[in-house]
Structure 1
Amino acid sequence: MDPKITILVVEDHEVMRFGLKSLLSNVEGFEVVGEASNGKEAIEKAKKLKPRVIVMDIVMPMMNGIEASHLLKEAVPATKIIMFTSFETQSYVFAALAAGAHGYCLKNVTTNNLIAAIKTVDSGAAWFDREIAEIVLNYIKTGLAQGDLEVKKLTLSPREIEVLTCVTEGLTNNEIASRLMVSVETVKTHLKRIMDKLEVSDRTQAAVQALKQGLLK
């Protein structure tokens, strides 16, 4: 294995991207091999450069970080992904994890913690900022209290799998309808059936539960 951790920086704001690239380039043992300004460009660069770690924003033009993560998991499965964002809501956190992210850092993270996060995911472990870890732990505690973490033998139809996969990519109901060429009402009906089967109350919980039970690839 290359002694240096190769990194691809993905951020749509030029000043932030330049600053992040400059910061990481000066860390011993790190090498920033490329940069991208959106999810589509990130996939193209990742296929070519094969970085060990991608540090990526979530909200970007053309393709967001969550959808890009889902596709990167297939394109460069050995690459580890850290979400680097200002959003700390449960929906973003679990959508990112469901899409294949290995770490989640807020943009107010300290330099030392960002460096630690990159080294941690490169080693094969997960990394969450303290605030994000609390969100994950609270969700697990709530789930245990409600008994919704019990593994059940559930069957989703092929179309329901498609809809749920779109949810993990961060798509809205309108975007799912457009991709699958169905009406928005049909998408809502599928989501209602999915949530009923998985015994959850929202889209994010449905995606996480399905992944836990191995219902999505």
Structure 2
Amino acid sequence: MNNIKVLLVEDHTMTRMGLSLVLEKAEGIELIAEAEDGLSGVEKAKELCPDVILMDIGLPNIDGIEATRKIKEENLNSKVLIFTSRDNEDDVFASFKAGADGYIMKGSTPEQTTNAIKAVSEGIAWIDPAIARLVLSNIQKSTQNLTPTGEINYKAGKNAYGLTEREMEVLALIVEGLSNPQIAERLVITRATAKAHVHSILQKLYVDDRTKAAIMAMKEGLV
């Protein structure tokens, strides 16, 4: 299996040196280049097409959020993992809106960091546990899941994951924050059926928990 090629974009020298050491020791990961500012990060991403870009937010010239947006506009296959100390709502949601594939805090352990890199390289959304509740809480507050007639509102036209109509309904309720028993009650189905739908959704979205499914739904415009 080929190593995951990583581009590190970080302006603080000591942080960059520490991350470089972690990545060089990590099995299955190859650090192919480093950049000290957002513009250089974008240029190196276009030149090298890394598998994963480890991106700080507070960068010179253009910040990591704008750099992420520019990289995604190039339609590269590179995944962007935001690596930052910022845990405020504005930065978190701006990052995902720009196209980030994951968000991890700088206080994470080397193992957590390498696990996050491996996850996003496989198309799995990685959300740092420190901000997962913040993200899900915001989604629950901002997402309107019911139409004026009381029907669940979902965007089947944007369903590129093979979800059934019922699974789209269940996904909308996951985003709303409902548990399996609550989903069963809302849709008038058994708890076992609700659990089966949730399991199928997680598999089709390539995520391993409900929070990541909610993030994916928000990012992809599924609800």
* Superposition pairs of residues 39-54 of structure 1, within 5 angstroms: 39-54=38-53
Q: Deviations over 1:31-79 (max 9, x none)?
A: 0000001110001111111100000100111010000000000225210
In 1, Cα distance between equivalents of 2:114 and 2:219: 32
Q: Normalization by structure 2: what TM-score?
A: 0.65
Q: Report which of the two structures shows the higher radius of gyration computed on alpha carbons.
A: 2
* Superposition pairs of residues 107-122 of structure 1, within 5 angstroms: 107-122=106-121
Is 1:88 aligned to residue 97 of structure 2? no
Paired position in structure 2 for 1:66:
65
Q: How many pairs align?
A: 158
Paired position in structure 2 for 1:6:
5
Pick closer, same or farther for the CA change 1:101–1:125 going to 2, 3 Å.
Answer: same
RMSD of aligned residue pairs (Cα, Å): 2.5
SS at match of 2:32: strand
Paired position in structure 2 for 1:192:
none
Which runs of no fewer than 5 residues in structure 1 stay unpaired?
Answer: 153-207
CA contact (8 A) 1:43 1:71 kept: yes
In 2, Cα distance between equivalents of 1:76 and 1:30: 23
Pick closer, same or farther for the CA change 1:133–1:210 going to 2, 3 Å.
Answer: closer
Paired position in structure 1 for 2:169:
none
1:39 alignment partner AA: G
In 2, Cα distance between equivalents of 1:16 and 1:52: 21
CA contact (8 A) 1:8 1:46 kept: yes
2:115 alignment partner AA: A
Pick closer, same or farther for the CA change 1:145–1:78 going to 2, 3 Å.
Answer: closer
- Displacement of 1:147 after TM fit? 5.2
CA contact (8 A) 1:98 1:211 kept: no
2:83 alignment partner AA: F
- Displacement of 1:6 after TM fit? 0.3
Which shows bigger deviation, 59-68 or 133-142? 133-142
Is 1:133 aligned to residue 142 of structure 2? no
